[in-house]
Amino acid sequence: MTEQIELLARLIVRSQTIIVFTGAGVSTESGIPDFRSPGGIWSKYDPEDFTIQRFVSSTEARRSFWKMSAESTLLAGAEPNPAHYAIAELHGLGKLDCVITQNIDDLHQKSGVPDNMVLELHGNMRRVVCLDCRNRFPLPDMLSEVSEETRVPDCPGCRGILKPDAVLFGEQLPIVTLREATRRAQQCDLFIVIGSTLMVYPAAYMPTYAASAGARLAIVNLTDTPLDHEAEVVIRGRAGEIMPGVMNCVRRLRSSGPD
């Protein structure tokens, strides 16, 4: 593994335009469970309530969302972990073009990556959006209106339906964000996948777009991915353990000058 960490560090040092693609494996290390894992959200709530069709048509489905949000402190209490800070360090070095993420927790921004450099393919669960006027509001502000009976709040401006600003089942990914992520993936020189199995599409197409355009591909994940055979380096392990070691090596290489 030491050799692979060294190789990834050298790729970083030699690269000018790096994209980091993150999945649930980064968030879980901050205490946010995978929705599908045992003890995850879907073991407590019916995922059918979170299809866009049911959410829009059913007050009870919307009540489930607000009940879940009021009861859950996972996102509210989550803090960036060492993997987030290692990625933010790439920004500090001037090498990070952007983070493309499947995560909905705002932790990249909290770790120091500017908001305009985080492309959230699946949205952000810390906000809600009005389906009528499209205004967005911080989720905690709206939660203050939720009573013990789980009243369903509506938009304070137009009284429209408030939806989590995350992509629900059956809902399209935000097209502007998806197009921008695709464009950037095709222009980077190094694409690093961290904490994703690359099994959720269309997000998982991003590293393929990058590799097809000539970028080097690196993967840091606990388990195999469908693109391991295309990667120049594959590191098996926890992102929060691997990435600080990679960045330590990057600092050493930069201080020693060109190799």
pLDDT digits (tens, 9 = 90+) for 77-125: 789 999 999 999 999 999 999 999 999 999 999 999 999 999 999 999 8
Choosing from 91, 108, 122, 229, which is the catalytic residue?
A: 122
Is 122 designated active site?
Answer: yes
Q: What is the structure's pLDDT at 142?
A: 86
Domains of the chain: 1-32+80-122+172-259 (3.40.50.1220), 33-77+124-166 (3.30.1600.10)
The percent of residues in the chain predicted with pLDDT above 70, rounded, is 90
Residue 20 near residue 220, CB atoms below 8 Å? no
Which segment of 62-66, 213-217, 221-225, 229-233 scores lowest on mean pLDDT?
A: 62-66
Q: Is the pLDDT of residue 259 over 80?
A: no
Confidence label for 187 from pLDDT (cuts 50, 70 and 90): very high
In the chain the first and final C-alpha atoms are separated, in Å, by 21
H-helix or E-strand containing 76? helix 74-77
What does the pLDDT average to over 112-140? 94
Q: Nearest to residue 237, comparing CAs of 38, 3, 25?
A: 25
Q: What is the structure's pLDDT at 160?
A: 95
Residues 6+ apart with CB under 8 A from 256: none
Residue 131 near residue 161, CB atoms below 8 Å? yes
Q: Is 179 exposed, middle or buried (0-12, 13-18, 19+ CB in 10 A)?
A: exposed
Tokens, residue 14? 């030699």
Q: What is the structure's pLDDT at 148?
A: 55
